[in-house]
Structure 1
Amino acid sequence: MARPGRRPTGTRRTAPRNTRRDREDLDLISVLARTVREVEAAAERGRVTPSVRTRFQVVALLLREEHARVRADEGGSDARRAEQLKRLDGVATILAKTAVRDAGLLALLSEDAVVSDAARALRQDVLRSVGLESPPEEAPPAEPVPAAPAPERVVPQSVISRQLANPFLAPDFSAARPTAPRPQRLAGWELLGPLLRSFERAGGGDPAGMALPAPTSRQAAGGRELMPHQARLVAAAASGHRTFLLADEPGLGKTAQALLSAEAAGAFPLLVVVPNVVKTNWAREAGIWTPHRPATVIHGNGDTIDGFADIVVVNYEVLDRHVGWLGDFGFRGMVVDEAHFIKNRTSQRSQHVLELSQRIRSRTTRPLLMALTGTPLINDIDDFRAIWQFLGWIDESKPLGELMEALEGTGLTPADPGFYAAARRCVVDMGIVRRRKVDVAADIPARRIADLPVELEGAAGRSIRAAERDLARRMVAQYERALANRGSGPGEGIDLDLVRRVARSEQKEAATAASGENVFTMMRRIGQAKAGLAADYAAQLARSAGKVVFFAKHVDVMDAAEDVFTRQGVRFSSIRGDQTSRSRQENIDAFVNDPGVAVAVCSLTAAGVGINLQVASDIVLAELSWTDAEQTQAIDRSHRIGQTEPVTAWRIIAAQTIDARIAELIDSKAGLAARALDGSDEEVGSSADVQLEALVALLTDALAAEAPSALPSAAQTGT
């Protein structure tokens, strides 16, 4: 057998990979080592572009394949195999150290990471460069495959009622703009690839977003005032702009901007597609910013929705069963929140979103289309494609309409040196808007709390609401027994003095009870039910805005959150009360110093004081504290000297439960404490006060529900 060496020029090796020769193995490992060093250098410089991510993923793919092949190869000597595995392990070590510098790179190491078209093409190029090719994939034996069940499609009764109530409510699609003939000069050019590459080639001084007009007013409904950066985007919608990729960092008010842009554009009815964790918050924000526009949220089959609403909010998970009637509803605008959820164009949810967008664009003259995401790119520049397609800028193969006209207007082709900069400018002007907290720091408070209400669905939610009703009924029974024992009737109103005595009795029993349902066990169960939703939101923040501090009161809530982070490939530090001082400091240092550690999971009591976490400007409060002081202490772990950005604390609230009432009470006690510190004679509330007031509110609401006319008497209220 000839000694392995350089192949003659012009020859090509196409043998299957399991017959490759030793020299070629070494060539491949050398290529992987050289490539991973290039990626490492780019990561150290902070220049992790989409092309760098593509090379990183190709190294990970080939490394995994080569490692498995070498271990399975029984043809060589043990010493030879050990040498090859040692070299591969060296490449793997560099790969891992590089991944911790960037969350996007780390996600590419997952077994189920989506392999982009660019990565597949580069993988083939690498193999061919060392004279190797992948063997053709063998098709599995043909077996009868049962047809996938068709998705359940529903039409809520309220939507049918809307259609029947008034024939004039039927959507009129006659005014849809006809498709204009496209210019022909660039018709023969492949343009999508150059458009995407134009963003890879962007320099540091190139604009990140379109020019926005100066706002004519910052006033919104109800006397609220928009921040300047928000008002500028709304002014763009008012001036006639209709498509936006709004990529502001979390905490800059994208929801309010979208709602008020729809108001400025007259884009109602408006469809809003969101992740499950934020759909209740969208309805809440609509009530704040567009209170005259009724909003409805689709849960499950939509049995409870308002078919006459102006704003329809639906989450990705149930979109499949509603896509039929939604497409015929006559929407004049569509918002997709966390739009990076549709980056995989082959997924079902992406297909449904794109279908709805196309139907709206084909039936409505200049609809408002908005894609909201703090993370427009996750793995690859190709992540832009689905978002651009949703906005109507492109289709599967070419630019459309206004974008094509803008490209024609440049007078350039992809062969011209200036095309890429001009093409990127054309795309940006279609509606890309990107602002960071640090860019608009003067617009937003240095420290603020943003409530995020979530719906507790499923068995856990039903159980918690049932337990809350049982607690209320138990206190009502005690209240009624007390009235009967003193020989007095119900009276003209609720006896607030008796209500407080009953609530205080319940509070005392709960504090000493070893088992059974009470206000403390209920709050713990609510925390457990919120844990997954809160962790999912924290993971989204980490991907889009950087490091996040996650606070919880109970260990089981921290455990549940850490399970979510582990499944999603999000690296975290854990700071708990049962750690040694050394272990605690190691976890703090990992979060502060390691760029790959995205989340610090902290005990509200153990980590709420004495540590500095100002590397993060976003905080998630998964469970409520009983006092504002404890909540403030937690926030101040990040909001302290050394913090360069405004801090936002995202407080996760279980809607329609006692959780929401306690949040209101904590806020009211915070105001009381502030007045006391300013010299007022008011007594500052304690945690026991909040617990008592929560029970008083629960009992009062239950009594009022049983007898709606029973209001507290003037004598009891002191008026």
Structure 2
Amino acid sequence: MARRGQRQTGNTRTAPRQQRAARPLEKGDIIRVLARAVREVEAKAQRGPLTAAGRTKFQVVALLVREERTRVKNQKDISEPQRAEQLKRLDGVATILAQTVALDPTVYPLLDENAVFTDAADTLRTEMLQAAGIEQATTTKAADDDVTPAAAERRVVPQSVISRQLANPFLAPDFSAVTQRADSPKRLSTWELLGPLFRAFEYGGSSSCMPLPEPGFLMTPGGLELMPHQAQVVAAAAEGHRTFLLADEPGLGKTAQALLAAHAADAYPLLVVVPNVVKTNWAREADLWTPSRKATVIHGDGDSIDGFADIVVVNYEVLDRHVGWLGDFGFRGMVVDEAHFIKNKSSQRSQHALELSERIRNRTARPLLMALTGTPLINDIEDFRAIWQFLGWIDDKKPLAELMEKLEATGLSPADHGFYSAARTSVISMGIVRRRKVDVAADIPARRIADLPVELDDAIGRSIRDSERELARRLVARYDSALETRSAGVVVDGIDHDLVRRVATWEREDTDNEKTGENVFTMMRRIGQAKAGLAADYAAQLSRNVGKVVYFAKHIDVMDVAEETFAKRGIKFTSIRGDQSAKARQAAIDGFTNDEDVEIVVCSLTAAGVGLNLQVASNVVLAELSWTDAEQTQAIDRVHRIGQEEPVTAWRIIAAQTIDGKIAELIDSKAGLAARALDGSDEEVSSSADIQLEALVALLTEALESR
């Protein structure tokens, strides 16, 4: 039988492998590179599920096929037969991609243009382009004329944005606050300064935080109370400081600080660029902290955004579609969350963020620019090159005017002994703010739960919301039927809440007896599966920022997704499951607590919820909701134990716009009841069945109120 790629016709024989020399790649022959790569991926898929490296290569090939197809279609200097031939070759690569999906269906989501594109994928894309002799631009582009045809075709302008532009067509650059500068001093003009500035941070120092003013106020426009360390940053913005590298540890409220700094600086409209997993949370936080400022979130092509909003939230993965109109929108402030995402200046996400920052600085005098990251400043300081450039402190070659003036004022040069300490202080004064939990422990609770809403905006998410609506319709039909058949003479004005509770009880009993298809229990199970990747993604980001993280899930498949995510990202982890031997379990615990390289322990809620001491960490991710507060508390208490020296934060991942949020509220409401019962109350502590019943009651009541 002929092997794939070898033809046998008549008496023709394939030459021995050692006698065949590979034809050298032609300059720009990207299709040959893609064909070779996709065959490698297919061959691996034939042997079993693809590894992390194989999945990355699959995703990069799919992306480059789309880009090359667009380029070929728009190429002006080739004939139609040549165009048809190249498109045919690309179809061949696409066919093998489809065959690979048939062999390993788990790679299908990677074909989505909104799929997360990791740094490893960015690097591989660059390598494949270089192998084909194609050079990538590494400098930011400031005008739409400089974009490639493929990038231009992906760009969109939402209709609501066009409406805003038509409503205010004379938006002019703001140069009102530009200060007149004298000629810059020349003492350091001949020195190479960026390298010494980075080395200044490698040498360390007493503080990584700029001097901050005393908080002017603790109450916010939304009526919430700020913690003193948060109010200090807001006060600095109110006093006129306009660039911040806010590097507080997770759990110290960087989101609130950024939103309120924008309020204090009147930096509206405000652009917020974030990872996909937290963009819904940013909109929610904006509603809490600055309720007078409308926030809108860009999903996909932005068809649902409000073009007249004050705060525009966009995730890195779709930034390439919107960078054109965003640069002309007239933003007076910009925030990048998880700013280490832009550390690789050759990546598209970094180039787009730098381009937008430059365009905002070019048309707005002293805009508010904030880079948020929990990554310690002393690690990989070269990673901050792109962040400093985003903030306008440096360009590709040298410090810019404000930082240069601070360096000149020291009277020192890199040849002087005291330069590095003075340079470090100069950079920090530009706006570096770094506080750890232990630094502000008096400000924050010893144990708190922080909800992180995530958007399920894929096919699975839509299916879950459809199922929830179907369950609500079934409950309403049951309620109406009971209302019609009950005894005559009973008159109720509005909703009969007693009947609502009886209908919810019947539904729950049917669930217990497995008489219904989709129910509240199976729905929560599906929500947990849909959140798995997003929860793991956030845990990975968290470990990158703070070190060790405890990740809890209820179901094995959710744990599997987490472990696969961590493996793909090169994050070392251990796992505690119910089917482990005592020896394996102890080895996993010891690995997490004693090995500095082990960043995450993946735990089963039922297997690891009791009897463990994991206080080496102070951050917990709850990927799935429990049915009782007690189970949730037991998990958190694996970290919040006697001897824990840092405040503990439990990050609870909530699927926005689903019943997940209702369940979380019910768990929290029952927590107070449980506490009272333990303190001697006669009230009975709620069970998981109670939570399910109350969720059904809430679902039915909401459906009846809305009709």
Pairwise TM-score range, normalised by the shorter structure: 0.7 to 0.9
Aligned to 2:268: 268
Offset from partner CA, 1:554-592 (integer Å, 9 cap, x none): 111111111111111111111111112221111111111
Summarize the Cα distance change of 1:178–1:521 in structure 2 as closer, same or farther, 3 Å threshold: same
Aligned to 1:648: 649
1 CA distance for matches of 2:329 and 2:337?
20
Contact 2:122 2:347 in 1 (8 A): no
**Kindly, what percent of the aligned residue pairs are identical?**
73
Summarize the Cα distance change of 1:188–1:490 in structure 2 as closer, same or farther, 3 Å threshold: farther
2 CA distance for matches of 1:112 and 1:701?
44
1 CA distance for matches of 2:601 and 2:153?
40
Q: Equivalent residue of 1:411, what SS?
A: coil
Aligned to 2:235: 235
Deviation at 1:676, TM superposition (A): 3.1
Deviation at 1:140, TM superposition (A): 6.1
1 CA distance for matches of 2:221 and 2:122?
44
Summarize the Cα distance change of 1:188–1:674 in structure 2 as closer, same or farther, 3 Å threshold: same
Counterpart amino acid of residue 166 in structure 2: L
Q: Equivalent residue of 1:188, what SS?
A: coil
Q: Equivalent residue of 1:223, what SS?
A: coil
Summarize the Cα distance change of 1:225–1:140 in structure 2 as closer, same or farther, 3 Å threshold: closer
Contact 1:662 1:694 in 2 (8 A): yes
Moved more, 231-240 or 482-491: 482-491
Equivalent residues in 2 for 1:601-640, closer than 5 Å: 601-640=602-641
Offset from partner CA, 1:626-659 (integer Å, 9 cap, x none): 1111111110000001211100000000010000
Alpha-carbon RMSD: 2.5
Aligned to 2:438: 438
Equivalent residues in 2 for 1:175-190, closer than 5 Å: 175=176, 177=178, 180=181, 181-190=183-192
Summarize the Cα distance change of 1:672–1:140 in structure 2 as closer, same or farther, 3 Å threshold: closer
1 CA distance for matches of 2:135 and 2:240?
54
Summarize the Cα distance change of 1:190–1:699 in structure 2 as closer, same or farther, 3 Å threshold: same
Equivalent residues in 2 for 1:45-444, closer than 5 Å: 148=150, 150-166=152-168, 170-175=171-176, 177=178, 180=181, 181-203=183-205, 206-375=206-375, 380-444=380-444
1 CA distance for matches of 2:545 and 2:158?
35
Q: Equivalent residue of 2:244, what SS?
A: strand
Matched, 1:596 2:594: no
2 CA distance for matches of 1:274 and 1:436?
22
Aligned to 2:62: none
Deviation at 1:202, TM superposition (A): 2.6
Q: Equivalent residue of 2:649, what SS?
A: strand
2 CA distance for matches of 1:210 and 1:144?
40
Contact 1:551 1:603 in 2 (8 A): yes
Deviation at 1:316, TM superposition (A): 0.4
Offset from partner CA, 1:411-452 (integer Å, 9 cap, x none): 122222221111111101101111111111111110000000
Equivalent residues in 2 for 1:488-507, closer than 5 Å: 492-507=493-508
Q: Equivalent residue of 1:388, what SS?
A: helix
Summarize the Cα distance change of 1:198–1:690 in structure 2 as closer, same or farther, 3 Å threshold: same
Offset from partner CA, 1:190-243 (integer Å, 9 cap, x none): 11111111111234xx32111111112222124322111111111111111111
Contact 2:175 2:365 in 1 (8 A): no
2 CA distance for matches of 1:202 and 1:634?
37
Normalising by structure 1, what TM-score?
0.76
Counterpart amino acid of residue 280 in structure 1: T
Offset from partner CA, 1:176-197 (integer Å, 9 cap, x none): 6378443322211111111111
Matched, 1:450 2:450: yes
Summarize the Cα distance change of 1:143–1:418 in structure 2 as closer, same or farther, 3 Å threshold: closer
1 CA distance for matches of 2:302 and 2:441?
41
Contact 1:340 1:376 in 2 (8 A): no
Aligned to 1:583: 584
Summarize the Cα distance change of 1:141–1:618 in structure 2 as closer, same or farther, 3 Å threshold: closer
Summarize the Cα distance change of 1:260–1:541 in structure 2 as closer, same or farther, 3 Å threshold: same
Offset from partner CA, 1:602-637 (integer Å, 9 cap, x none): 111111111111111000000001111111111000
Contact 1:456 1:654 in 2 (8 A): yes
Counterpart amino acid of residue 415 in structure 1: A
State which structure, 1 or 2, has the greater radius of gyration over its C-alpha atoms.
1
Summarize the Cα distance change of 1:141–1:604 in structure 2 as closer, same or farther, 3 Å threshold: closer
Aligned to 2:104: none
Summarize the Cα distance change of 1:594–1:154 in structure 2 as closer, same or farther, 3 Å threshold: same
Aligned to 1:676: 677
Counterpart amino acid of residue 557 in structure 2: D
Contact 2:201 2:378 in 1 (8 A): no
Contact 1:259 1:286 in 2 (8 A): yes
Normalising by structure 2, what TM-score?
0.77
Q: Equivalent residue of 1:451, what SS?
A: strand
Gaps of 5+ in 1: 1-109, 116-138, 707-719
Deviation at 1:675, TM superposition (A): 2.9
Aligned to 1:661: 662
Contact 2:202 2:378 in 1 (8 A): no
1 CA distance for matches of 2:516 and 2:385?
55
Counterpart amino acid of residue 196 in structure 1: F
1 CA distance for matches of 2:440 and 2:132?
59
Summarize the Cα distance change of 1:490–1:210 in structure 2 as closer, same or farther, 3 Å threshold: same
Gaps of 5+ in 2: 1-118, 125-129, 137-147
Contact 1:393 1:400 in 2 (8 A): yes
Contact 1:176 1:362 in 2 (8 A): no
Equivalent pairs, count = 573
Summarize the Cα distance change of 1:382–1:179 in structure 2 as closer, same or farther, 3 Å threshold: farther
Deviation at 1:679, TM superposition (A): 4.2
2 CA distance for matches of 1:260 and 1:148?
38
Summarize the Cα distance change of 1:443–1:407 in structure 2 as closer, same or farther, 3 Å threshold: same
Deviation at 1:520, TM superposition (A): 1.0
Contact 2:576 2:601 in 1 (8 A): yes
Summarize the Cα distance change of 1:524–1:366 in structure 2 as closer, same or farther, 3 Å threshold: same
Contact 1:406 1:426 in 2 (8 A): yes
Contact 2:272 2:312 in 1 (8 A): yes
Equivalent residues in 2 for 1:541-552, closer than 5 Å: 541-552=542-553
Q: Equivalent residue of 1:244, what SS?
A: strand
Deviation at 1:486, TM superposition (A): 2.8
Aligned to 2:540: 539
Q: Equivalent residue of 2:452, what SS?
A: strand
1 CA distance for matches of 2:215 and 2:517?
57
2 CA distance for matches of 1:694 and 1:149?
46
Contact 2:158 2:302 in 1 (8 A): yes
Summarize the Cα distance change of 1:171–1:495 in structure 2 as closer, same or farther, 3 Å threshold: farther
Counterpart amino acid of residue 527 in structure 2: I
Q: Equivalent residue of 1:225, what SS?
A: coil
1 CA distance for matches of 2:506 and 2:609?
31
Contact 2:553 2:603 in 1 (8 A): yes
